[in-house]
A and B are shown apart, each in its own frame.
Chain A
């Protein structure tokens, strides 16, 4: 059960769009539509932003969207805002009632 692969860091300017990738295998990301994304600000608990690949929980801005192609899932943030600066983690169901997370991506808003 290896961790999913995310870029260590991404950056963008206010108003721009950025995409964070999350690469797994045909046994996790590629096998199930159970990818989720979490936002974590320093010193706080993670916050669910996307679940089931592309679903937003109530209260999450439509600027956040998710997608998947093959073994790679993506989180796109449009209209980047200063408050979006945080760490982002993906996770995937891997079958047999187990979960795996990505290593996390640090987003910097320039």
Chain B
């Protein structure tokens, strides 16, 4: 069974960088075939795609966040990570890591982790 688990600080100060890691079990990132994604959901709001990465390191980002987002992969640890810089309170959200085909089939989601931006 494929499982994804987000980890990282639940509280980040304004202007700092939000950093999260997703650990994958039950599948190997380096086997290819999937895009490893980050989504977020602001409190009481809808979902938003942040971006995704292929095992080769190719990255694709939401244009609205592109200037602040970096997604990276560590195939040796079977993990991928999100960095979001210069955060504000508007970045407070639940962050999900997700496995997908890059187009439509985003089939395995982590449980989500709430990150609050506050001083």
The answer to whether B110 has its CB under 8 Å from any CB of chain A is yes
**B36 CB to nearest chain A CB (Å):** 13
Give Cα distance in the complex from A89 to B98, angstroms: 15
Which segment of A9-17, A46-54, A78-86 sits at the interface? A46-54
Contact between B103 and A46 (Cβ–Cβ < 8 Å)? no
Q: Residue-by-residue, is B82-119 near A (CB-CB < 8 Å gives 1, otherwise 0)?
A: 00000000000000100000111111011110000000
B49→A104 contact, CB < 8 A: no
Chain B residue contacts of A48, Cβ below 8 A = 105-107
Residues of B within 8 A of A44 (CB): 111
In the complex the two chains form, is B110's CB within 8 Å of A36's CB?
no
**A110 in the interface (beta carbon within 8 A):** no
Q: How far is the CA of A104 from the CA of B48 in the complex (A)?
A: 11
Complex interface bits, A28-50 against B, C-beta within 8 A gives 1, otherwise 0: 00001011101000001111100
Instruction: Looking at the assembled complex, report how far the CB atom of A52 sits from the nearest CB atom of chain B, in whole angstroms.
Output: 5
Residues in A with CB closer than 8 Å to B47 are 38, 46, 89, 91, 101, 104
Q: Which of B60, B106, B111 has the most CB of A within 10 A?
A: B106
- Of the candidates A34, A52, A100, the one whose C-beta lies within 8 Å of that of B49 is A100
Cβ–Cβ < 8 Å partners of B96 in chain A: 45-46
Given A1-B63, A89-B46, A102-B46: A46 and B109 within 8 A (CB)? yes
In the complex, which of the residues A32, A51, A104 contacts B46, with contact meaning CB atoms closer than 8 Å?
A104
* A53–B47 CA distance with the chains assembled, in angstroms: 18
B46 touches A34 (CB 8 A): no
Cβ-defined contact, A98 with B60, below 8 A: yes
**In the complex, residue of chain A having the shortest beta-carbon distance to the beta carbon of B59:** A97
- Can you report 25 residue pairs joining A to B where beta carbons are below 8 Å apart? A34-B104, A36-B105, A38-B47, A38-B106, A45-B110, A47-B109, A48-B105, A51-B104, A51-B105, A51-B106, A51-B107, A52-B103, A52-B104, A53-B104, A55-B105, A57-B105, A91-B104, A97-B60, A98-B62, A99-B49, A99-B62, A101-B47, A101-B49, A102-B46, A104-B45
